[in-house]
A and B are shown apart, each in its own frame.
Chain A
Amino acid sequence: MTLTHPKAPSMATLACLQSALSTLRTTHHAVPAITHITRRKASHQAQGRANGAKDGAGKRLGAKKTGGEYVVPGNILFRQRGTHWFPGDNCFMGRDHTIHAGSPGYVRYYQDPARHPKRKFIGIVFEKTQSLPQPTHAARRRQLGMLAYQMPTPPQPEIATDETSAAPTKVSDGTTVSIRNSKMNPGGLQLTLGPGYQYRQSNYEIGRSGDKKEAAANAKGKTIRAFAKFKPGDRFAAWRKSVVRVARSRERKVMGRGGKGGAKKKN
């Protein structure tokens, strides 16, 4: 008895299939006329999602110093995403919720229901025998962490005068300097020390300088105006002003932006 094998598709069918699939082919290797039939895998769910979240490399989060270890300020105690643990006594939290030691001592992991009913804290104690949380209503344990030195240049102690300069002298205290008759200050302006450590006229003084000059000239019967005050309807005065303005702007254009721009352009 001959075994009935599954009938292979005819040549014609295969050729049709090949021509149909040739357009989808990305590579253009020399393909034999007849391709061998490849076995396809049973399921393709094992491939996974096309656009799903890929698992990345491990970020080495977690505790870096165990309870009881001696640490110095700055040491990282716990790396985390979010606040699984909160900074307790003498600890601080960085911008990515990393808990650092704030003072030298021994690490303690603890809960403090008085501070928060559910949170877990990491704190530092100064001696190995101490524990956290600190007893309620007891004076807190604090460390100075400083040494006393003689000041290299002792401050000039100002006898506390009964002035309202009780507040520390700020930069914008209004200390005025008037360097009159000086090359730097030909106008004899009143310059005050402002924020940014620059000596300058105050803005309102700059704004009012024009008005002040006009008032001073008016007192002498003169004016600093180039043209007379505008009179609506006086077309002759307006034409005169316009002629002067146009001539000046033409001159400026010829001169160019820089001082020797006009001369340069000609070259």
Chain B
Amino acid sequence: MTLQRASRPVAHCLRQSSSTRHARTLATTPIDPSPPTPHYHHHPTPSPAPATPSQPARPPQRSSSLSRSNAPLGPEDAFQEARAFLQEDRREKLEAIGLQRVKIARLQDRVVVGEQNGEVERRKQREKDNRVRSMGRRLEEMKVMADINDPMVKKRFEDGQGDMTKPIYRHLANTQWHSYKRQILLQRLTQMNVMPDVLPALDPIVSTGLAFPTTSSTTPTRSRLKRVQHGDFVPSALSSQTPTLWIQPYNKGTRLCTVAVINPDVPNVEKDGFDHRCHFLAVNLPISPINTRVRLGELGSTSESKGDVLLPWLPAYAQKGAPYQRMSIIILEQPSPTLTPIVTTLLGAVAESRELDVTSASQDPRYNTRDGFNLRSFVDRYGLKAVGADLFRTKWDEGTAGVMQQAGIVGWDVEFRRKRVEPLPYQRKASERYR
């Protein structure tokens, strides 16, 4: 099997060659009168039976690209042939990419002309935009296809040295995220009903990571970050600190995001139900494939961390006896200033996002209060699009009372107990035995 695979590039090479070459380059019978019998000492697998037509009994004669010696071909030669084949393939793809760019430029230069005062013109403009957009998408695909066979690219990606400004590494990272971690995230979000409770639907396209700072007794001065998996229970002492969030988008360009942390499980005894509470709200955070870390505690304070915090971090807490509370972190992309709500530009990059007006948002009574914060209304008001989410859970533990007292939250000594439901009336029998 290895021999068959190894001989394919050679066969391909020879097929490409002109007819001026020898007619008998691949032969089953020896060209020279007395050749030595071939032995493959390198690999232990036995050479296949010569009955198969695609395989000659003896090693194929080398083309003129390699040396003219009659020594048998080994795996290293097959590897070099494969490399040459892949390099040729990449060259072809790069040519095709160049052609595609020229085509897109030519199409964009074409001026749309139409009669009927706009109706036809608008339709033609829309068709042109669609064509340019799909050609742009095809161009991005071709860029990925050009590099996907490169073993060095694969190695660099697996070692974590991939440059996220290049489309191939973004594509590989996106594929890896989709294969497992995104499925886990979606499982947690659907099983814990974040989807219907917090937002109607959510399709994550950015990957998220969450970590809380903790200072261990061994390193009291330096704070370590404790990673939290999607859906984990986080102790209240840990979640009292402002966390760090990693947001990794997989399409190029910088966009402005909003981060909202919503707790949809706040118990409300009067209405015998649950309220929403916003534990954190920040807008205008620039996120790009290379700039992924967001320290929620330091937003807006330093020049490098840009962003506007509308509601600072409130520690997560769940009172005693209440069921566990889900803390959902929703990442929303702010819309572009263009009239059309399509976020991607014609060539696949992310459009410039519009900055959210912080003063108007902070003065709006619906969005400057934590209790009763309605994320659906916020999303509709500012035209945001949910692109990512994370989730952790909190329940009562020994440290919750202390955390609530420190944060000045009323109700640290309140506990919840199940309401007694009167049993339905049923016929009692006469005897005491049948209570």
Q: State the A residues within 8 Å of B (CB).
A: 70-73, 75, 104, 136-140, 142-151, 154-160, 162-169
Specify the chain B residue showing the minimal Cβ separation from A73. B421
Specify the chain A residue showing the minimal Cβ separation from B223. A162
Q: Are the CB atoms of A145 and B401 closer together than 8 Å?
A: no
Q: Is B406 an interface residue (CB 8 A)?
A: yes
| Interface mask (B261-272 → A, CB under 8 Å = 1, otherwise 0) | 000100111001
Q: How far is the CA of A200 from the CA of B24 in the complex (A)?
A: 86
Chain B residues with Cβ below 8 Å from A142 are 273-274
Q: Which of B263-303 contact A (CB under 8 A)?
A: 264, 267-269, 272-274
Q: Are the CB atoms of B273 and A72 closer together than 8 Å?
A: no
Contacts A137-B200, A142-B273, A163-B217; is A150 near B413 (CB within 8 Å)? yes
Q: Is B433 an interface residue (CB 8 A)?
A: no
Q: How far is the CA of A138 from the CA of B198 in the complex (A)?
A: 9
Q: Are the CB atoms of A149 and B217 closer together than 8 Å?
A: no
Which among B319, B401, B405, B412 has the highest number of chain A CB atoms within 10 Å? Answer: B401
- Chain A to chain B contacts (Cβ below 8 Å), 12 pairs: A72-B422, A137-B196, A139-B197, A140-B193, A144-B273, A147-B416, A154-B413, A155-B413, A157-B412, A159-B406, A160-B240, A162-B214
Chain A residues with Cβ below 8 Å from B268 are 144
Q: Is B397 an interface residue (CB 8 A)?
A: yes
Q: Are the CB atoms of B401 and A146 closer together than 8 Å?
A: no
Among A75, A155, A159, A164, contact of B216 (Cβ-Cβ < 8 Å): A164
Q: Are the CB atoms of A155 and B401 closer together than 8 Å?
A: yes
Q: State the B residues within 8 Å of A (CB).
A: 193, 195-197, 200-201, 214-217, 220, 235-238, 240, 264, 267-269, 272-274, 319-322, 397-399, 401-406, 411-419, 421-424
Q: How far is the CB of A144 from chain B (nearest CB, A)?
A: 5
Chain A residues with Cβ below 8 Å from B322 are 146
Contacts A137-B196, A148-B416, A155-B413; is A162 near B220 (CB within 8 Å)? yes
Which among A71, A138, A155 has the highest number of chain B CB atoms within 10 Å? Answer: A155
Contacts A148-B414, A160-B240, A160-B403; is A71 near B267 (CB within 8 Å)? no
Given contact pairs A104-B421, A138-B200, A148-B267, a sample of 18 additional A-B residue pairs in the complex whose CB atoms are under 8 Å apart: A75-B424, A140-B193, A140-B197, A142-B274, A146-B321, A147-B416, A149-B416, A151-B414, A155-B401, A156-B401, A158-B399, A158-B402, A159-B402, A159-B405, A160-B402, A160-B406, A167-B235, A169-B398
Q: Are the CB atoms of B399 and A160 closer together than 8 Å?
A: yes
Q: How far is the CA of A171 from the CA of B196 in the complex (A)?
A: 39
Specify the chain B residue showing the minimal Cβ separation from A169. B398
Chain A residues with Cβ below 8 Å from B423 are 72
Q: Are the CB atoms of A157 and B267 closer together than 8 Å?
A: no
Q: How far is the CA of A150 from the CA of B417 in the complex (A)?
A: 10
Q: How far is the CA of A136 from the CA of B235 in the complex (A)?
A: 33
Q: Are the CB atoms of A138 and B413 closer together than 8 Å?
A: no
Chain B residues with Cβ below 8 Å from A169 are 398
Chain B residues with Cβ below 8 Å from A139 are 196-197, 264
Q: How far is the CA of A157 from the CA of B408 in the complex (A)?
A: 13
Q: How far is the CA of A70 from the CA of B412 in the complex (A)?
A: 36
Q: How far is the CB of A65 from chain B (nearest CB, A)?
A: 10
Q: Are the CB atoms of A164 and B269 closer together than 8 Å?
A: no
Contacts A72-B421, A146-B418, A146-B419; is A151 near B269 (CB within 8 Å)? no
Q: How far is the CA of A162 from the CA of B423 in the complex (A)?
A: 49
Specify the chain A residue showing the minimal Cβ separation from B215. A162
Q: How far is the CA of A167 from the CA of B398 in the complex (A)?
A: 9
Contacts A139-B197, A148-B416, A160-B403; is A166 near B237 (CB within 8 Å)? yes
Chain B residues with Cβ below 8 Å from A151 are 320, 413-415
Chain A residues with Cβ below 8 Å from B196 are 136-140
Q: How far is the CA of A182 from the CA of B273 in the complex (A)?
A: 57
Specify the chain A residue showing the minimal Cβ separation from B420. A147
Q: Are the CB atoms of A166 and B238 closer together than 8 Å?
A: yes
Chain B residues with Cβ below 8 Å from A145 are 272, 418-419
Q: Are the CB atoms of B416 and A146 closer together than 8 Å?
A: yes
Q: Are the CB atoms of A149 and B417 closer together than 8 Å?
A: yes
Q: How far is the CB of A115 from chain B (nearest CB, A)?
A: 12
Chain A residues with Cβ below 8 Å from B418 are 145-146
Among A73, A140, A144, A164, contact of B267 (Cβ-Cβ < 8 Å): A144
Q: How far is the CA of A164 from the CA of B214 in the complex (A)?
A: 7
Contacts A147-B417, A168-B235; is A157 near B214 (CB within 8 Å)? no
Q: How far is the CB of B189 from chain A (nearest CB, A)?
A: 14
Q: How far is the CA of A179 from the CA of B267 in the complex (A)?
A: 47
Specify the chain B residue showing the minimal Cβ separation from A145. B419
Specify the chain A residue showing the minimal Cβ separation from B424. A72
Contacts A140-B193, A140-B196, A146-B267; is A160 near B419 (CB within 8 Å)? no
Chain A residues with Cβ below 8 Å from B401 are 154-158
Q: Are the CB atoms of B237 and A160 closer together than 8 Å?
A: yes
Q: How far is the CA of A124 from the CA of B142 in the complex (A)?
A: 54
Contacts A139-B196, A140-B193; is A164 near B217 (CB within 8 Å)? yes
Q: Are the CB atoms of B415 and A166 closer together than 8 Å?
A: no
Q: How far is the CA of A140 from the CA of B265 in the complex (A)?
A: 12
Q: Are the CB atoms of A166 and B398 closer together than 8 Å?
A: no
Which among A73, A138, A146 has the highest number of chain B CB atoms within 10 Å? Answer: A146
Q: How far is the CA of A136 from the CA of B274 in the complex (A)?
A: 19
Q: Are the CB atoms of B274 and A166 closer together than 8 Å?
A: no
Chain B residues with Cβ below 8 Å from A73 are 421
Specify the chain A residue showing the minimal Cβ separation from B240. A160
Q: How far is the CB of B371 from chain A (nearest CB, A)?
A: 16
Q: Are the CB atoms of A147 and B406 closer together than 8 Å?
A: no
Chain A residues with Cβ below 8 Å from B193 are 140
Q: Are the CB atoms of B272 and A143 closer together than 8 Å?
A: yes
Q: How far is the CA of A22 from the CA of B345 in the complex (A)?
A: 106
Chain B residues with Cβ below 8 Å from A147 are 269, 416-417, 419
Contacts A160-B406, A162-B214; is A146 near B399 (CB within 8 Å)? no
Q: How far is the CB of B239 from chain A (nearest CB, A)?
A: 9
Q: How far is the CA of A154 from the CA of B321 in the complex (A)?
A: 14
Chain B residues with Cβ below 8 Å from A137 are 195-196, 200-201
Q: How far is the CA of A189 from the CA of B424 in the complex (A)?
A: 60
Q: How far is the CA of A146 from the CA of B419 in the complex (A)?
A: 5
Q: Are the CB atoms of B424 and A71 closer together than 8 Å?
A: yes
